[in-house]
């Protein structure tokens, strides 16, 4: 349990609450650097009089639970935060945002071809890793800054917002120079120096769930970014490791409505990494939209069988177009819409 003080509380008022806690048999400790000030209740041998605490001078509220979500939590009636995705789109509004592209940036020609195809089908963002977190040190590690430059040039030609991964605090400034949204990957969700570093810069952050992280750990990782000063975080469910072997990861879709209940942050779903199988991407995308996701992150490549990474879970252009067509009526049934793209609408409900 914690006590949240009102902004501008003075040391004397904080000490007053700690004294009051002591009278009730509890020990309070101010959390370093918290703004507004927060007092953690460490031990309680007596009975806490919550009403008395709430009435103390400058106390804002008393929050239950060991891990309060002060920054990312949703207050009653609060709308989902709308996070900018480049200059033309947002994630978290009525319109669903689809970000698509290759797992890794391989060369500018294929990147532009992919970007043009996904934009025509309705994607508003282009994904592609230039710094790749690979399991094996012998696997392709990405084109580095050359890849970022290619992404930025393709943005100029297509208008798509660029989403790309940053793996270390030292690279944050470099990636932020080119990207519209900085991705923190699954392997780095627990990397608090990186979370702070992306929190201290101004571009929105796409935070992927660690593959063994609980929902609470996921939301607390986002809390790090907001507390460092960056309000614009998009959560991304990308599957967790289980005993199951017919999929690469197990997509925990119940997280989507649960995040909607607990947090004001938007959440998108990545069924490419979430399943590891191209034929499961469309069905799980349909399910993601039906349970309230604010968008999708999808791997697309001109010829997935030749992709330098993650080919087995990657859609080709036709599969991506077919998927977008199949998603539109589901989005409409959920009161959402999808960018129409250039392909002819198949349903009267298309916006
Ligand atoms: C990716 O999106 O390219 C990626 C590496 O995903 P994850 O961090 O979810 O494994
Ligand atoms: Mn990938």
Which atom of ligand 1 approaches the CA of 310 most closely?
A: 3
Q: Check if 185 has its Cβ closer than 6 Å to any atom of ligand 1.
A: yes
For residue 29, being part of any structural domain is answered with yes
For residue 23, being part of any structural domain is answered with yes
Q: What is the CATH number of the domain that holds 191?
A: 3.20.20.70
Mean pLDDT comparison of 32-46, 66-80, 196-210, highest-scoring range: 196-210
Q: Check if 179 has its Cβ closer than 6 Å to any atom of ligand 1.
A: no
Instruction: Check whether 126 has a pLDDT greater than 60.
Output: yes
pLDDT in tens, 200-258: 999 999 999 999 999 999 999 999 999 999 999 999 999 999 999 999 999 999 999 99
Average pLDDT across the chain, whole number: 93
Q: Give the pLDDT confidence score for residue 350 in this predicted structure.
A: 39
Cβ contact 95:272 at 8 Å: no
Q: Give the pLDDT confidence score for residue 42 in this predicted structure.
A: 84
Q: Give the pLDDT confidence score for residue 148 in this predicted structure.
A: 98
Instruction: Check whether 344 has a pLDDT greater than 60.
Output: no
**3-state secondary structure (DSSP) of residue 250:** strand
Q: Say whether both 36 and 137 belong to one domain.
A: no
Q: Say whether both 42 and 87 belong to one domain.
A: no
For residue 68, being part of any structural domain is answered with no
Beta strands (DSSP E) in the chain are 2-5, 26-30, 38-44, 59-63, 83-85, 89-91, 95-101, 125-127, 161-165, 181-184, 205-208, 233-237, 267-269, 295-299, 337-338
Q: Say whether both 36 and 133 belong to one domain.
A: no
Instruction: Check whether 346 has a pLDDT greater than 60.
Output: no
How many angstroms is it from 49 CA to the middle of ligand 2? Answer: 51
Q: Give the pLDDT confidence score for residue 67 in this predicted structure.
A: 67
Q: Give the pLDDT confidence score for residue 44 in this predicted structure.
A: 76
Q: Say whether both 182 and 134 belong to one domain.
A: yes
Q: Which of 63, 95, 116 is the last residue of a domain?
A: 63
For residue 173, being part of any structural domain is answered with yes
Q: What is the average per-residue pLDDT within 63-92? A: 89
Q: How confident is the model at residue 139 (pLDDT cuts 50, 70, 90)?
A: very high
Q: Say whether both 22 and 163 belong to one domain.
A: no
The Cα 329–Cα 139 span in angstroms is 40
Q: What is the CATH number of the domain that holds 26?
A: 3.30.70.1140
Q: Say whether both 261 and 184 belong to one domain.
A: yes
Percent of the chain with pLDDT over 70: 96
Q: Which of 63, 91, 115 is the last residue of a domain?
A: 63
For the chain, how many structural domains are there in total? Answer: 2
How many angstroms is it from 35 CA to the middle of ligand 1? Answer: 33
How many angstroms is it from 158 CA to the middle of ligand 1? Answer: 23
Count H helices, E strands: the chain? 11, 15
Candidate of 128, 185, 299 to mutate for ligand 1, largest count of ligand atoms within 8 Å of Cβ: 185
Q: Say whether both 153 and 8 belong to one domain.
A: no
pTM: 0.89
Q: How confident is the model at residue 345 (pLDDT cuts 50, 70, 90)?
A: very low
For residue 73, being part of any structural domain is answered with no
For residue 70, being part of any structural domain is answered with no
Cβ contact 228:205 at 8 Å: no
Report which protein residue has its CA nearest ligand 1's atom 10: 186
Q: Say whether both 52 and 90 belong to one domain.
A: no
Which atom of ligand 1 approaches the CA of 132 most closely?
A: 5
Domain ranges, residue 87? 83-338
Q: What is the average per-residue pLDDT within 180-190? A: 98
Which atom of ligand 1 approaches the CA of 186 most closely?
A: 8
Q: Say whether both 201 and 292 belong to one domain.
A: yes
DSSP for 196-226, please give it: HHHHTSSS-EEEEPPTT--HHHHHHHHHHHH
How many angstroms is it from 299 CA to the middle of ligand 2? Answer: 7
Candidate of 186, 248, 298, 301 to mutate for ligand 1, largest count of ligand atoms within 8 Å of Cβ: 186
Structure tokens at 311: 């080919």
Q: How confident is the model at residue 261 (pLDDT cuts 50, 70, 90)?
A: very high
Q: Give the pLDDT confidence score for residue 349 in this predicted structure.
A: 40
Q: Which of 35, 63, 91 is the last residue of a domain?
A: 63
Which atom of ligand 1 approaches the CA of 187 most closely?
A: 8
Q: How confident is the model at residue 348 (pLDDT cuts 50, 70, 90)?
A: very low
Q: Say whether both 193 and 272 belong to one domain.
A: yes
Percent of the chain with pLDDT over 90: 85
Backbone angles phi, psi at 109, to 5 degrees: -60, -50
Candidate of 103, 236, 297 to mutate for ligand 1, largest count of ligand atoms within 8 Å of Cβ: 103
Query: Could you give the angle at which helices 317-333 and 108-121 cross, rounded to 10 degrees?
Result: 30
Q: Say whether both 92 and 49 belong to one domain.
A: no
For residue 284, being part of any structural domain is answered with yes
Q: Say whether both 109 and 13 belong to one domain.
A: no
Q: How confident is the model at residue 347 (pLDDT cuts 50, 70, 90)?
A: very low
Q: What is the average per-residue pLDDT within 304-309? A: 97
Give the end-to-end CA distance of the chain in Å, rounded to a whole number: 46
Instruction: Check whether 342 has a pLDDT greater than 80.
Output: no
C-alpha angle 282-285-286 in degrees, rounded to nearest 5: 90
């Amino acid at each position: 349990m914690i006590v949240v003080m009102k902004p501008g509380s003075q040391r004397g008022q904080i000490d007053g609450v700690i004294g009051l806690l002591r009278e009730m048999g509890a020990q309070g400790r101010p959390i370093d650097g918290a703004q507004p000030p927060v007092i953690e209740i460490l031990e309680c041998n007596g009975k806490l009089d919550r009403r008395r605490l709430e009435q103390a001078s400058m106390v804002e509220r008393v929050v239950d639970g060991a891990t309060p979500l002060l920054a990312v939590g949703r207050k009653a009636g609060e709308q989902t935060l709308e996070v900018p995705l480049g200059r033309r789109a947002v994630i978290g509004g009525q319109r669903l945002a689809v970000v698509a592209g290759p797992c890794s940036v391989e060369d500018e020609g294929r990147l532009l071809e992919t970007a043009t195809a996904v934009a025509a089908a309705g994607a508003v963002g282009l994904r592609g890793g230039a710094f790749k977190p690979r399991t094996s040190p012998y696997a392709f590690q990405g084109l580095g800054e050359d890849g970022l430059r290619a992404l930025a040039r393709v943005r100029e030609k297509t208008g798509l917002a660029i989403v790309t991964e940053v793996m270390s605090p030292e690279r944050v400034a470099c990636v932020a120079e080119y990207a519209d949204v900085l991705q923190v990957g699954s392997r780095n969700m627990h990397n608090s120096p990186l979370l702070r570093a992306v929190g201290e810069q101004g571009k929105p952050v796409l935070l992927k769930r660690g593959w063994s992280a609980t929902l609470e750990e996921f939301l607390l990782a986002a809390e790090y970014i907001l507390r460092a000063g960056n309000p614009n975080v998009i959560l991304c469910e990308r599957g967790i490791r289980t005993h199951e072997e017919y999929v690469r990861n197990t997509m925990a879709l119940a997280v989507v409505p649960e995040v909607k209940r607990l947090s004001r942050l938007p959440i998108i779903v990545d069924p490419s990494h979430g399943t590891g199988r191209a034929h499961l991407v469309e069905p799980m995308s349909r399910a993601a939209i039906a349970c309230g996701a604010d968008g999708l992150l999808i791997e697309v490549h001109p010829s997935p069988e030749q992709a330098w990474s993650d080919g087995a879970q990657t859609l080709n252009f036709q599969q991506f177009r077919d998927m977008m067509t199949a998603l539109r009526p589901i989005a409409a049934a959920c009161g959402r819409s999808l960018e129409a793209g250039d392909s002819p609408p198949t349903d009267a409900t298309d916006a």
